[in-house]
Every structure is written in C-alpha cells, then in structure tokens.
C-alpha cells in the first residue's frame, strides 16, 4: 500500500480549507483516509499560527512507516523543521514564456532595423561623394 501524507480539500467554493491526512495513494484526493494529521487554512495571513496546524508526532510516525509527503506537505514539514531542507532545481524558472520570447525577438529585430537605418544614411553620402569626385577628374 503506497501511503501518502497529503492535503484533502474542504470548505466552500472559493473558500478553501485543507485537512492534512495520511491516506492510500490510490484513494481520491477528498476520499477515504486513515488518519487526520492536521489542518491548513490558506486564507489566513502567512504569519498566523492557525494557518498550518500539524500533529508532528503522528506525522513522524507515518514517515517512519514509509509514507511519502506530497510536495506541498514536504515544504510545510521543512518549515516546521521536521525534515531537512531539500535542494530544488527548476532550470526553466528564470526563462520567460513563449509569447514573451516572441515579443523580445520582435523588439530585437526592430532595434537592429533601426540601427541599420541610422547607419545607412551616414554611409550613403560618403559613397555618393566618392563617385562625384571621380567624375570630376
């Protein structure tokens, strides 16, 4: 049985409230669970003590039994100091999206065209002047 420590959603529409539960990974998100381990209320301020409440002793028991926390629960456990902080690698985090890349490319093309247009008139009179001198000779 693949045990998970995860969030089960409750509350009404647009007013989420989550229970932290130990459940079989094959059960639905809001379905049957084995034990309620705490609560999470995302509507409260981040510095509020009531935002995340966990029974750390029972969570540690389930972790010792082989339960795997979900990503969000793992972050909460790291903040509580139960598990060591893990390194995360998201190489795509800093890259802009597809449309932003297209806009940047268009801006670069316009800037290059503007530079060429600014350089072309400066060179053109010099080229026109040279043949005129040759004709004069």
Contacts of 8 (CB under 8 A, 6+ apart): 18, 19, 20, 21, 23, 29, 30, 31, 33
The CA R_g of the chain, rounded to the nearest whole Å, is 31
Task: Indicate the pTM of the whole model.
Answer: 0.63
- What span, in angstroms and rounded, lies between the C-alpha atoms of 18 and 6? 9
Dump pLDDT digits (tens) for 11-51: 999 999 999 999 999 998 988 999 999 999 999 999 999 99
Question: What does each of the 137 residues of the chain score in pLDDT, given as a tens digit?
Answer: 689 999 999 999 999 999 999 999 999 898 899 999 999 999 999 999 999 999 999 999 999 999 999 999 999 999 888 888 888 787 878 888 899 999 999 999 999 998 888 887 655 455 555 555 555 55
What pLDDT, on the 0 to 100 scale, is given for residue 13? 94
Level-2 CATH architecture, domain 3-80: 2-Layer Sandwich (3.30)
- How far is Cα of residue 78 from the mean position of the Cα atoms in its chain? 18
What pLDDT, on the 0 to 100 scale, is given for residue 56? 92
């Amino acid at each position: 049985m693949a045990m998970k420590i995860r969030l089960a959603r409750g509350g009404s529409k647009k007013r989420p409230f989550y229970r932290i539960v130990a459940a079989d990974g094959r059960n639905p998100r809001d379905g049957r669970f084995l034990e309620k381990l705490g609560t999470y209320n995302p509507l409260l301020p981040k510095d509020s003590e009531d935002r995340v409440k966990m029974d750390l002793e029972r969570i540690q028991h389930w972790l010792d039994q082989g339960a795997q926390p979900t990503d969000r629960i793992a972050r909460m456990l790291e903040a509580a100091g139960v598990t060591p902080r893990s390194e995360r690698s998201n190489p795509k985090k800093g890259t802009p999206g597809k449309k932003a890349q297209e806009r940047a490319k268009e801006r670069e093309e316009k800037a290059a065209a503007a530079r060429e247009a600014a350089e072309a008139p400066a060179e053109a009179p010099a080229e026109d002047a040279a043949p005129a001198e040759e004709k004069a000779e």
